[in-house]
Chains A and B, each alone.
Chain A
Amino acid sequence: MAKGSLVSGSIWDEYSNVVVDRMNNPQHQGHITEEEAEAMNAKLIVADFGAESCGDAVRLYWAVENATDKIVGSKFKSFGCGTAIASSDIMTELCMGKTVDEAVTITNIDVEKAMRDNPDTPAVPPQKMHCSVMAYDVIKKAAATHKGVDMDSFETEHIICECARVTQDTLIDVIKINDLKTIEEVIDFTKAGGFCKSCIESGGHEAKDIYLVDILKDVREEMQRERLHEAALTTTDKKPDFASMGLVQKIRAVDAVVEEYVRPMLVMDGGDMEVIDIKEESEYYNIYIKYLGACSTCSTGSTGTLYAIESTLKQNLDDNIRVMPI
Chain B
Amino acid sequence: MEVYLDNNATTKVDEKVFDEMKPFFCEVYGNPNSLHSFGSNTHKKMLEAIEYLYEGINADDEDDIVITANATESNNWVIKSTWIDHILGGDKKHIVTSEVEHPAITAACNFLEKQGVKVTYLNVNEEGVLDASAVEKAIKDDTALVSIMWANNETGKLFPIKEIGAICKEKDVPFHSDATQAIGKVEVDVQDVNVDMISFSAHKFHGPKGVGGLYIRKGVKLSPYMNGGEQMDGRRAGTVDVASMIGMGKAIHLATNTMALAYEINHVGMLRDKLERAILKLPDTIVIGGTQNRTPNTTLISIKGVEGESMLWDLNQNGIAASTGSACASEDLEANPVMNAFGSDSELAHTGIRFSLSRFNTEEQIDYAIEQITKAVERLRSISSSYAYTPKNHTSEL
Contact = CB atoms under 8 A, between A and B. Distances in A.
* Chain A CB within 10 Å, residue with most, of B309, B329, B332, B351: B309
Given A31-B388, A52-B351, A53-B346, A81 B394 contact: no
Chain A interface size range: 35 or more
A48 B313 contact: no
B273 interface: no
Contacts of B328: 55-56, 80-81, 84, 131
A194 B329 CA distance: 18
Interface string B289-322: 0000000000000001111111001001100000
Contacts of A205: 327, 333-334
Contact of A81 (B304, B329, B334, B346): B329
Nearest to A26: B383
A197 B331 CA distance: 11
Given A79-B305, A79-B307, A130-B333, A53 B345 contact: yes
Interface residues of B, number: 40
Q: Give chain A's interface secondary structure class.
A: mixed
B25 interface: no
A89 B387 CA distance: 17
A78 B398 contact: no
A153 interface: no
A294 to B, nearest CB: 59
A44 interface: yes
Contact of B384 (A8, A78, A127): A78
A135 to B, nearest CB: 12
A154 to B, nearest CB: 18
Interface string B354-398: 000000000000000000000000000011111111111110111
A57 interface: yes
A85 interface: yes
A11 B326 CA distance: 14
Contact of B386 (A29, A52, A198): A52
Interface of A: 8, 11-12, 23-24, 26, 29, 31, 33-34, 44, 46, 48-59, 77-82, 84-85, 127, 130-131, 196-198, 204-205
Q: Which 10 A-B pairs give the minimum distances between C-beta atoms?
A: A77-B388, A81-B309, A48-B397, A31-B389, A81-B328, A77-B385, A205-B333, A59-B385, A46-B394, A55-B350
7 contacts: A33-B391, A79-B306, A79-B384, A81-B308, A84-B307, A131-B328, A196-B333
